[in-house]
Amino acid sequence: MSAVPASTAAAMNLSSSSPPSPSFDAASWSQNHLARVEGALSQWVGDSAPAGLGDAMRYAVLDGGKRLRPLLVLAAYEAACSSAGAGAAAFDDAALRAACAVELIHAYSLVHDDMPCMDNDILRRGKPTVHVRFGEAQALLAGDALQAFAFELLTPDDSTTPAATQAALCRLLARAAGSAGMAGGQAIDLASVGIALTEDQLRHMHRLKTGALLQGSVLMGAVCGHAAQPAYKALSDYGAAMGLAFQVVDDILDVVADSATLGKTAGKDAAADKPTYVSLLGLERAQAYAQELLHEAQAALTRSGLPDTRALAALADMVVRRSH
Protein backbone atom coordinates (compact mmCIF):
# COMPACT_ATOMS: atom_id res chain seq x y z
CA MET A 1 0.00 0.00 0.00
CA SER A 2 1.44 3.35 -0.99
CA ALA A 3 2.00 6.13 1.51
CA VAL A 4 -0.19 9.18 1.54
CA PRO A 5 1.47 12.05 -0.36
CA ALA A 6 2.46 14.88 1.93
CA SER A 7 0.48 17.29 -0.23
CA THR A 8 -2.66 15.22 0.22
CA ALA A 9 -2.26 15.04 3.97
CA ALA A 10 -1.60 18.76 4.20
CA ALA A 11 -4.63 19.50 2.05
CA MET A 12 -6.92 17.96 4.63
CA ASN A 13 -5.75 20.57 7.17
CA LEU A 14 -7.63 18.77 9.93
CA SER A 15 -5.03 19.45 12.57
CA SER A 16 -5.88 23.16 12.48
CA SER A 17 -9.55 22.58 13.23
CA SER A 18 -10.94 22.00 16.69
CA PRO A 19 -11.84 18.30 16.96
CA PRO A 20 -15.34 17.56 18.23
CA SER A 21 -13.94 15.51 21.10
CA PRO A 22 -10.58 15.58 22.93
CA SER A 23 -10.40 11.80 22.58
CA PHE A 24 -10.77 11.84 18.80
CA ASP A 25 -7.61 12.43 16.76
CA ALA A 26 -9.02 13.70 13.47
CA ALA A 27 -5.62 14.06 11.83
CA SER A 28 -4.65 10.44 12.58
CA TRP A 29 -8.07 9.20 11.49
CA SER A 30 -7.75 10.97 8.16
CA GLN A 31 -4.15 9.81 7.62
CA ASN A 32 -5.09 6.18 8.18
CA HIS A 33 -8.07 6.31 5.86
CA LEU A 34 -6.24 8.33 3.22
CA ALA A 35 -3.58 5.63 3.17
CA ARG A 36 -6.22 2.95 2.52
CA VAL A 37 -7.84 4.94 -0.27
CA GLU A 38 -4.56 5.98 -1.89
CA GLY A 39 -3.28 2.42 -1.84
CA ALA A 40 -6.48 1.03 -3.36
CA LEU A 41 -6.58 3.68 -6.08
CA SER A 42 -2.94 3.05 -6.93
CA GLN A 43 -3.63 -0.68 -7.19
CA TRP A 44 -6.84 -0.47 -9.21
CA VAL A 45 -6.74 2.54 -11.53
CA GLY A 46 -5.55 2.25 -15.11
CA ASP A 47 -3.46 -0.88 -14.58
CA SER A 48 -4.38 -2.59 -17.85
CA ALA A 49 -5.67 0.32 -19.96
CA PRO A 50 -4.06 0.35 -23.45
CA ALA A 51 -2.27 2.93 -25.58
CA GLY A 52 -1.27 5.30 -22.81
CA LEU A 53 -4.82 5.64 -21.51
CA GLY A 54 -3.84 4.21 -18.13
CA ASP A 55 -1.17 6.87 -17.72
CA ALA A 56 -3.73 9.63 -18.26
CA MET A 57 -6.18 7.98 -15.88
CA ARG A 58 -3.61 7.62 -13.14
CA TYR A 59 -2.37 11.19 -13.66
CA ALA A 60 -5.93 12.42 -13.17
CA VAL A 61 -6.52 10.47 -9.95
CA LEU A 62 -3.32 9.77 -8.04
CA ASP A 63 -1.15 11.95 -5.82
CA GLY A 64 -3.43 14.92 -5.38
CA GLY A 65 -6.69 16.20 -4.01
CA LYS A 66 -8.27 16.29 -0.58
CA ARG A 67 -10.03 12.90 -1.00
CA LEU A 68 -12.95 14.45 0.86
CA ARG A 69 -15.56 12.29 -0.88
CA PRO A 70 -13.87 8.97 -0.04
CA LEU A 71 -13.40 10.11 3.54
CA LEU A 72 -17.10 10.96 3.76
CA VAL A 73 -17.99 7.46 2.57
CA LEU A 74 -15.78 5.84 5.18
CA ALA A 75 -16.81 8.20 7.99
CA ALA A 76 -20.52 7.61 7.31
CA TYR A 77 -19.90 3.87 7.09
CA GLU A 78 -18.17 3.84 10.46
CA ALA A 79 -20.86 6.04 12.02
CA ALA A 80 -23.58 3.66 10.80
CA CYS A 81 -21.59 0.65 11.97
CA SER A 82 -21.32 2.16 15.43
CA SER A 83 -25.08 1.61 15.67
CA ALA A 84 -25.52 -1.48 13.48
CA GLY A 85 -23.02 -3.60 15.34
CA ALA A 86 -20.36 -6.02 14.19
CA GLY A 87 -22.39 -7.42 11.29
CA ALA A 88 -21.78 -4.37 9.16
CA ALA A 89 -18.02 -4.92 9.31
CA ALA A 90 -18.45 -7.53 6.58
CA PHE A 91 -19.03 -4.57 4.24
CA ASP A 92 -15.52 -3.14 4.68
CA ASP A 93 -14.59 -4.05 1.09
CA ALA A 94 -17.81 -2.54 -0.27
CA ALA A 95 -17.17 0.67 1.66
CA LEU A 96 -13.60 0.96 0.36
CA ARG A 97 -14.78 0.32 -3.19
CA ALA A 98 -17.51 2.93 -2.77
CA ALA A 99 -14.95 5.40 -1.44
CA CYS A 100 -12.75 4.88 -4.48
CA ALA A 101 -15.69 4.95 -6.89
CA VAL A 102 -16.82 8.41 -5.80
CA GLU A 103 -13.27 9.70 -6.19
CA LEU A 104 -13.16 8.31 -9.73
CA ILE A 105 -16.37 10.14 -10.58
CA HIS A 106 -15.00 13.32 -9.05
CA ALA A 107 -11.73 12.96 -10.96
CA TYR A 108 -13.49 12.35 -14.28
CA SER A 109 -15.62 15.46 -13.74
CA LEU A 110 -12.51 17.58 -13.15
CA VAL A 111 -10.84 16.24 -16.29
CA HIS A 112 -13.84 17.17 -18.41
CA ASP A 113 -14.52 20.48 -16.62
CA ASP A 114 -10.97 21.65 -17.28
CA MET A 115 -11.14 21.06 -21.04
CA PRO A 116 -11.34 23.97 -23.50
CA CYS A 117 -15.00 23.26 -24.29
CA MET A 118 -15.90 23.78 -20.62
CA ASP A 119 -13.79 25.89 -18.20
CA ASN A 120 -10.59 25.83 -20.28
CA ASP A 121 -8.30 25.63 -17.26
CA ILE A 122 -4.60 24.79 -17.35
CA LEU A 123 -3.92 24.13 -13.66
CA ARG A 124 -5.41 21.53 -11.33
CA ARG A 125 -4.04 20.28 -8.00
CA GLY A 126 -0.90 22.30 -8.59
CA LYS A 127 0.01 20.66 -11.89
CA PRO A 128 -0.98 20.96 -15.57
CA THR A 129 -4.48 19.72 -16.31
CA VAL A 130 -4.90 16.40 -18.08
CA HIS A 131 -5.68 17.85 -21.50
CA VAL A 132 -2.60 20.07 -21.27
CA ARG A 133 -0.41 17.09 -20.35
CA PHE A 134 -1.91 14.41 -22.63
CA GLY A 135 -3.96 16.25 -25.26
CA GLU A 136 -7.71 16.80 -25.52
CA ALA A 137 -8.62 13.46 -27.09
CA GLN A 138 -6.78 11.42 -24.46
CA ALA A 139 -8.23 13.57 -21.68
CA LEU A 140 -11.76 12.97 -22.97
CA LEU A 141 -11.14 9.22 -23.08
CA ALA A 142 -9.52 9.22 -19.64
CA GLY A 143 -12.58 10.91 -18.16
CA ASP A 144 -14.90 8.46 -19.89
CA ALA A 145 -12.86 5.50 -18.68
CA LEU A 146 -12.75 6.74 -15.09
CA GLN A 147 -16.52 7.16 -15.06
CA ALA A 148 -17.10 3.65 -16.37
CA PHE A 149 -14.53 2.13 -14.04
CA ALA A 150 -16.28 3.64 -11.01
CA PHE A 151 -19.28 1.39 -11.59
CA GLU A 152 -17.12 -1.62 -12.45
CA LEU A 153 -15.41 -1.13 -9.11
CA LEU A 154 -18.75 -1.28 -7.30
CA THR A 155 -19.66 -4.61 -8.91
CA PRO A 156 -16.66 -6.96 -8.72
CA ASP A 157 -17.01 -10.54 -9.95
CA ASP A 158 -15.91 -12.11 -6.67
CA SER A 159 -17.78 -9.81 -4.28
CA THR A 160 -19.49 -11.11 -1.17
CA THR A 161 -21.59 -7.94 -1.06
CA PRO A 162 -25.25 -8.73 -1.85
CA ALA A 163 -26.39 -7.76 -5.33
CA ALA A 164 -29.10 -5.52 -3.86
CA THR A 165 -26.47 -3.49 -1.99
CA GLN A 166 -24.31 -3.22 -5.10
CA ALA A 167 -27.34 -1.98 -7.05
CA ALA A 168 -28.20 0.57 -4.36
CA LEU A 169 -24.65 1.92 -4.43
CA CYS A 170 -24.67 2.16 -8.23
CA ARG A 171 -27.99 3.98 -8.20
CA LEU A 172 -26.84 6.51 -5.59
CA LEU A 173 -23.65 7.22 -7.51
CA ALA A 174 -25.36 7.46 -10.89
CA ARG A 175 -28.00 9.85 -9.57
CA ALA A 176 -25.40 12.04 -7.86
CA ALA A 177 -23.31 12.23 -11.02
CA GLY A 178 -26.03 12.55 -13.69
CA SER A 179 -28.61 15.06 -14.83
CA ALA A 180 -30.22 15.13 -11.38
CA GLY A 181 -26.85 15.89 -9.82
CA MET A 182 -23.40 16.95 -10.92
CA ALA A 183 -23.91 17.02 -14.70
CA GLY A 184 -27.20 18.87 -14.34
CA GLY A 185 -25.61 21.43 -12.07
CA GLN A 186 -22.76 21.96 -14.53
CA ALA A 187 -25.28 22.52 -17.31
CA ILE A 188 -26.99 25.20 -15.23
CA ASP A 189 -23.60 26.74 -14.45
CA LEU A 190 -22.66 26.99 -18.12
CA ALA A 191 -26.06 28.48 -18.97
CA SER A 192 -25.79 31.06 -16.17
CA VAL A 193 -22.66 32.92 -17.28
CA GLY A 194 -23.40 36.63 -17.16
CA ILE A 195 -26.87 36.06 -15.69
CA ALA A 196 -27.96 37.42 -12.31
CA LEU A 197 -29.34 34.43 -10.41
CA THR A 198 -31.47 34.64 -7.29
CA GLU A 199 -30.15 33.04 -4.13
CA ASP A 200 -32.60 30.15 -4.54
CA GLN A 201 -31.43 29.58 -8.12
CA LEU A 202 -27.77 29.67 -7.10
CA ARG A 203 -28.44 27.28 -4.21
CA HIS A 204 -30.22 24.85 -6.56
CA MET A 205 -27.33 24.94 -9.03
CA HIS A 206 -24.73 24.23 -6.37
CA ARG A 207 -26.77 21.52 -4.63
CA LEU A 208 -26.61 19.69 -7.96
CA LYS A 209 -23.18 20.65 -9.25
CA THR A 210 -21.18 20.13 -6.05
CA GLY A 211 -23.49 19.06 -3.25
CA ALA A 212 -25.06 15.99 -4.87
CA LEU A 213 -21.83 13.98 -5.06
CA LEU A 214 -20.82 14.93 -1.53
CA GLN A 215 -24.25 14.00 -0.20
CA GLY A 216 -24.16 10.82 -2.29
CA SER A 217 -20.82 9.90 -0.72
CA VAL A 218 -22.36 10.09 2.75
CA LEU A 219 -25.35 8.01 1.69
CA MET A 220 -23.19 5.33 0.08
CA GLY A 221 -21.34 4.96 3.35
CA ALA A 222 -24.66 4.79 5.19
CA VAL A 223 -25.83 1.98 2.90
CA CYS A 224 -22.64 0.00 3.49
CA GLY A 225 -23.09 0.45 7.24
CA HIS A 226 -26.75 -0.66 7.27
CA ALA A 227 -27.98 2.66 8.67
CA ALA A 228 -31.58 2.54 9.89
CA GLN A 229 -34.04 4.90 8.21
CA PRO A 230 -34.02 7.71 10.83
CA ALA A 231 -30.23 7.77 10.84
CA TYR A 232 -30.12 7.53 7.04
CA LYS A 233 -32.38 10.60 6.74
CA ALA A 234 -30.28 12.57 9.22
CA LEU A 235 -27.09 11.63 7.37
CA SER A 236 -28.74 12.76 4.14
CA ASP A 237 -29.47 16.14 5.75
CA TYR A 238 -25.88 16.33 6.98
CA GLY A 239 -24.59 15.60 3.49
CA ALA A 240 -26.84 18.24 1.92
CA ALA A 241 -25.72 20.97 4.33
CA MET A 242 -22.08 20.02 4.16
CA GLY A 243 -22.13 19.72 0.37
CA LEU A 244 -23.52 23.23 -0.03
CA ALA A 245 -21.07 24.58 2.54
CA PHE A 246 -18.21 23.21 0.45
CA GLN A 247 -19.30 25.25 -2.56
CA VAL A 248 -19.89 28.42 -0.52
CA VAL A 249 -16.34 28.15 0.84
CA ASP A 250 -15.05 27.41 -2.67
CA ASP A 251 -16.61 30.67 -3.86
CA ILE A 252 -14.99 32.51 -0.95
CA LEU A 253 -11.56 31.01 -1.60
CA ASP A 254 -11.78 31.89 -5.29
CA VAL A 255 -11.79 35.52 -4.13
CA VAL A 256 -9.43 35.54 -1.14
CA ALA A 257 -6.79 32.89 -2.01
CA ASP A 258 -4.12 32.82 -4.70
CA SER A 259 -3.49 30.15 -7.33
CA ALA A 260 -0.44 28.70 -5.54
CA THR A 261 -2.49 28.14 -2.39
CA LEU A 262 -5.52 26.73 -4.20
CA GLY A 263 -3.60 24.51 -6.61
CA LYS A 264 -5.89 25.79 -9.37
CA THR A 265 -6.50 29.10 -11.08
CA ALA A 266 -7.81 31.68 -8.61
CA GLY A 267 -10.34 34.31 -9.61
CA LYS A 268 -11.57 32.41 -12.64
CA ASP A 269 -15.25 32.61 -11.64
CA ALA A 270 -15.18 36.39 -11.54
CA ALA A 271 -13.18 36.52 -14.76
CA ALA A 272 -15.78 34.31 -16.46
CA ASP A 273 -18.66 36.38 -15.03
CA LYS A 274 -20.12 33.36 -13.26
CA PRO A 275 -22.60 33.83 -10.41
CA THR A 276 -21.18 32.92 -6.99
CA TYR A 277 -22.18 33.32 -3.37
CA VAL A 278 -19.67 36.13 -2.99
CA SER A 279 -20.95 38.02 -6.04
CA LEU A 280 -24.55 37.58 -4.84
CA LEU A 281 -24.25 37.99 -1.06
CA GLY A 282 -20.92 39.73 -0.58
CA LEU A 283 -17.92 38.26 1.21
CA GLU A 284 -19.06 38.70 4.82
CA ARG A 285 -22.55 37.31 4.25
CA ALA A 286 -21.11 34.37 2.31
CA GLN A 287 -18.77 33.60 5.21
CA ALA A 288 -21.68 33.79 7.66
CA TYR A 289 -23.74 31.48 5.46
CA ALA A 290 -20.95 28.90 5.51
CA GLN A 291 -21.08 28.95 9.30
CA GLU A 292 -24.87 28.52 9.24
CA LEU A 293 -24.49 25.47 7.03
CA LEU A 294 -21.88 24.03 9.39
CA HIS A 295 -24.36 24.36 12.26
CA GLU A 296 -27.02 22.63 10.13
CA ALA A 297 -24.65 19.74 9.47
CA GLN A 298 -23.79 19.42 13.16
CA ALA A 299 -27.47 19.48 14.13
CA ALA A 300 -28.21 16.70 11.64
CA LEU A 301 -25.51 14.52 13.21
CA THR A 302 -27.11 15.06 16.60
CA ARG A 303 -30.50 14.05 15.17
CA SER A 304 -29.03 10.87 13.71
CA GLY A 305 -28.83 9.27 17.15
CA LEU A 306 -25.68 7.41 16.04
CA PRO A 307 -23.23 6.70 18.86
CA ASP A 308 -20.10 7.98 17.10
CA THR A 309 -20.22 10.71 14.44
CA ARG A 310 -16.96 12.38 15.38
CA ALA A 311 -15.26 11.77 12.03
CA LEU A 312 -18.20 13.26 10.15
CA ALA A 313 -18.21 16.27 12.47
CA ALA A 314 -14.48 16.78 11.93
CA LEU A 315 -14.89 16.62 8.14
CA ALA A 316 -17.67 19.22 8.21
CA ASP A 317 -15.47 21.46 10.34
CA MET A 318 -12.58 21.00 7.90
CA VAL A 319 -14.77 21.92 4.91
CA VAL A 320 -15.78 25.26 6.40
CA ARG A 321 -12.43 26.18 7.95
CA ARG A 322 -10.15 25.11 5.09
CA SER A 323 -7.83 27.59 3.43
CA HIS A 324 -7.60 25.82 0.05
Q: What is the pLDDT of residue 220?
A: 98
Length of the chain: 324
Residue 27 burial (C-beta neighbours within 10 Å; 0-12, 13-18, 19+) = middle
> In the predicted model, what is the mean pLDDT of residues 215-225?
97
Q: Which of 77-86, 118-127, 207-216, 306-315 has the weakest average pLDDT?
A: 77-86
3-state DSSP assignment of residue 24:
coil
Instruction: Evaluate whether 296 touches 221 at the Cβ level (below 8 Å).
Output: no
Q: Is the pLDDT of residue 2 over 50?
A: no
Rounded Cα distance between 113 and 281, Å, is: 25
Instruction: Write the pLDDT tens digit of every residue in 56-108.
Output: 999 999 977 889 999 999 999 999 998 765 555 668 999 999 999 999 999 99
Rounded Cα distance between 311 and 221, Å, is: 13
Q: How many CB atoms lie within 10 A of CB 239?
A: 29
Rounded Cα distance between 192 and 5, Å, is: 37
In the chain, the DSSP E strands lie at 123-124, 127-128
The closest alpha carbon to 38, from 11, 14, 67, 13, belongs to 67
Residue 244 burial (C-beta neighbours within 10 Å; 0-12, 13-18, 19+) = buried
What is the CATH number that goes with domain 6-321?
A: 1.10.600.10
Q: Which residue has the higher pLDDT, 225 or 90?
A: 225
Q: Which residue has the higher pLDDT, 246 or 275?
A: 246
Q: How many CB atoms lie within 10 A of CB 196?
A: 10
| Per-residue confidence band for 168, with pLDDT thresholds at 50, 70 and 90 | very high
Q: Which residue has the higher pLDDT, 323 or 61?
A: 61
Q: Is the pLDDT of residue 16 over 70?
A: no
Helix H or strand E encompassing 128: strand 127-128
> In the predicted model, what is the mean pLDDT of residues 212-239?
97
Residue 7 has, within 13 A of its CA and on its CB side, a CA count of 12
Q: What is the pLDDT of residue 260?
A: 54
Q: Is the pLDDT of residue 208 over 60?
A: yes
Rounded Cα distance between 88 and 86, Å, is: 5
3-state DSSP assignment of residue 324:
coil
